[in-house]
Chain A
């Protein structure tokens, strides 16, 4: 197989990542270069497994939502047999959009142009005056085009456009263990509250992914206001205690955890005690996973490329309500090199009472949402990361960003040998190896020849 043809500029930037990573340096231009972005759409979003929806959003047969792979619309629909299909939203006749609502329930999708009509598995079932117009033409060969592979994990639906992609389980690799730990804690699993909120930010998608790999250090400055209003219960310095984990190539996460197992403070990401009492190990998760969840104040992680997960104790009104566990997942949907559409979902464990779900939803909306006290500050710096990335100055000055925190001789983070889970683990969160892990895999995917995949496990694991 031959390597994909990268433009000289993209080739140069990928070389710079690969040589710079060992020194903790990343070229800023990857956050704005239009050639890099075009390569990302094809080699990252066109190949990796990307998150689309949660099964609870399309619970009934015929339910559908429209979601994105890269910049392109796909219909995620549960068919009459209950199976989930991911269909490219383009009529096979002239390429017209066939699904014109964001969500709904239907038995078919009819193209508004000439009336080609498809069922919920994507099969062409008819068109007006069929015999006159198309009698003798194969319907089987003219169904809606499907994503190459679709699979789900704890109800989280992923798809890939690459037929050579590994299975979802293999793609997630070690990250699957940590997703189990969060989404499999409660026997009944999780469900989405309402519909995702969507908002547009003039930033590059990698800023969101990078942040959720485990950028815990920014809390002390960017989010300082949330301590002043009592929205988050763990002080900055204490919250830096915990583990940074490169779960498998590309996927990273972080746990906030006190040094002493019996230290008081939030457990199980702050979920209410009577909810946490039902969290058990068994065939879903191991006693080790349960113990990690028990000790954790915060879980934050990113499934490469753009699916992020956060669980932590929050409140929208510290004077009236104690912080409670909030679970949010989000995607950083690319809309050009300098823009993203954020899809933000709130989830709850199904077994929570309506009151507990409402409390978690309000706490989440008040903190990690377009109008939330945490998130409204996050988007500010990301906008100017993108501006720096687009700048001629960054290109001419070879401007590189510093990802050195926690490298040998820098700071206090140390590798951990006896961690029970998969991946490469550091104690204390003063560490940016989690992000370097994302960019290392990113550069490998950008270069990977068609049909070939970078290694999905760390050597020795």
Chain B
């Protein structure tokens, strides 16, 4: 699924139109994404991880380069800024719980803006929903007045586990090649 995102026109290749914004699945997904953003904005990272993320999660942020149009969108295969599973995400959450996580202590002010949510059913597995959304992360550190802004798309797969949706896969496709923030000590 996500390898298609590297292709020139993922939407055209995926014939299936997203579900209506009035569909129960869409409503459920939007509720999920809003709650997720609330937990992350409130620095309740432990709750986000334990309540909303699947133990089988794959969470990636690929490296992007400026390339000629014929080569596509510039995401370099198998090359990442972040390539996480549940254990490594847990290590990051645990790190922020120590008294020595200087990068985020004092913490940044971080806000997630999530828009353009598109939900598609999986063609074979009824427990899976494929979700694309746009995300804008606004962040200030210390007395900064010029915010750090990260804009991108998230290609997620959510899976119903014991009746509740959980994040099974997230690929964050940022709209830049050089990361303009001094670290990525935040969750998308």
Contacts and interface: CB of A to CB of B under 8 A. Distances in A.
Interface of A: 100-104, 193-203, 221-226, 228-229, 231, 316-321, 341, 361-362, 365-366, 369-371, 373, 375-377, 379-381, 383
B91 A377 contact: no
B27 interface: no
A231 B91 contact: yes
A221 B98 CA distance: 12
A82 B47 CA distance: 54
Contacts of B179: 197-200, 370
B98 A224 contact: yes
B30 to A, nearest CB: 27
A361 to B, nearest CB: 8
Interface residues of B, number: 39
Given A195-B76, A225-B100, 5 more contacts: A104-B67, A194-B78, A199-B178, A223-B100, A380-B103
Nearest to B82: A371
Contacts of A100: 66, 68
B2 interface: no
Given A229-B98, A380-B102, A102 B66 contact: yes
B181 interface: yes
Given A362-B83, A365-B83, A371-B183, A316 B91 contact: yes
Contacts of A201: 182
B183 A366 contact: no
Contacts of A104: 67-68, 71
The binding surface of chain B is classed by DSSP as mixed
The binding surface of chain A is classed by DSSP as mixed
Nearest to A365: B83
Contacts of B61: 371
Contact of A341 (B81, B84, B94, B178): B178
A102 B177 contact: yes
A370 B94 CA distance: 18
A236 to B, nearest CB: 12
B81 A369 contact: yes
A103 B74 CA distance: 10
Interface string B139-158: 00000000000000000000
B121 interface: no
Contacts of B9: none
A341 B176 CA distance: 14
